[in-house]
Structure 1
Amino acid sequence: MRVFIGTDHAGLEFKEHLKRVLADAGHEPVDCGAFSYDAQDDYPPFCFEVGERTVTEPGSLGVVIGGSGNGEQIAANKVPGVRAALVWNTATAQLARQHNDANVVSIGARQHSPEEAADLVLEFLRTDFSGDERHVRRIGLISDYERDRHRPAGGQPTT
């Protein structure tokens, strides 16, 4: 699977580790930056690129990395079609995919060891969306709001 990865300075070392782990697991990591250490760089552009590339390439997933992962998740979620989830343990990595069909995972590089963070990303990548009707409906509601900025009456998606 193609996996787009982006980070600012806070996750630069982890990103390099993750690229090796993903390649060893048979994935195709695509580096969206940062490409060198700059303590003053800003994470949003890297997250936007990961989100844009993930959305335009069906079947791919994305990883955004920062110190905590919070801002990176927020930035990635500004890209239409992205469902980015901050994960911090195995259960949240699984549920992000199973219930929310998340297509981007956000990781806090300062919150985990490189090995633990890589395991969370791998768990996210190997977990499938359940396809349960209630989850499909909820994702539809989010997509409708993202598209129209209108809350559907009765809590049902319009499409």
Structure 2
Amino acid sequence: MRVHLGSDHAGLDLKNHLVSWLTEHGYEPVDHGPFVFDALDDYPVFCLRAARGVATDRAAGLDSLGVVVGGSGNGEQMAANKVEGIRCALVWSEATAKLAREHNDAQVVSVGGRMHTLAEMTHFVELFLAEPFSGDERHLRRIGMLGDYERTHELPALPESAVGLGPDA
């Protein structure tokens, strides 16, 4: 499996560690940078490229996922989610790493380099990469709603139980 990586200066050490770890574990890492420490670098430059690499690979039928890394992982997640068709999840625990794949079929994971130990973050990435999507109908339906909104910008229909309630009434 190909794994695209991108980070900012705060995630550089973890990204570099992951490139080696992925290679040692039979993955094909694709490093989108940064390649040197620059405290003023901009995470969108690298994270958008990593997410686009995943989207391009998957559109070509390749088995590909991605990892973006920053200080908190928040901005990196936001950047990756701007790439059409990409669902990027911020993970901070074993459960969120697994559920990102199992329930949401996320193709990219974001981790905070300043939030956890190197071992913890590597473990989260390992869990994410190993977890299959369940394919359950409810998850497919929800992911479909997200994809439809991304394409059409039309909100999904309200469920019967909500009709006449709230601001859409």
TM-score, normalised relative to structure 1 = 0.95
1:111 matched to 2:124: no
Alignment of 1:37-116 (within 5 A): 37-58=37-58, 59-116=63-120
Partner letter of residue 116 of structure 1?
A: E
Unaligned runs of 5+ in 2: 160-169
Secondary structure class of the residue paired with 1:57: helix
**What's the counterpart of residue 146 of structure 1?**
150
CA distance in 2, matches of 1:115, 1:29: 18
CA distance in 2, matches of 1:112, 1:20: 19
Partner letter of residue 147 of structure 2?
A: S
Q: Cα deviation per residue 1:9-67 (whole Å; 9 max; x = unaligned)? A: 00111111111111111101110000111000010111110111101112200000000
Match of 1:135 among 111, 119, 139: 139
CA distance in 2, matches of 1:143, 1:101: 12
Runs of 4 or more, structure 1, over 6 Å off, are none
CA distance in 2, matches of 1:2, 1:81: 17
Q: Structure 1 vs Structure 2: percent identity of aligned residues?
A: 58
CA distance in 1, matches of 2:34, 2:118: 17
1:8 matched to 2:12: no
Partner letter of residue 144 of structure 1?
A: D
**What's the counterpart of residue 32 of structure 2?**
32
CA distance in 2, matches of 1:153, 1:91: 30
**What's the counterpart of residue 166 of structure 2?**
none
Secondary structure class of the residue paired with 1:88: coil
CA distance in 1, matches of 2:100, 2:156: 24
CA distance in 1, matches of 2:157, 2:139: 18
1:122 matched to 2:126: yes
CA distance in 2, matches of 1:110, 1:152: 37
Cα offset, 1:153, TM superposition: 2.6
Q: Cα deviation per residue 1:106-139 (whole Å; 9 max; x = unaligned)? A: 0000011111111100100000000000000000
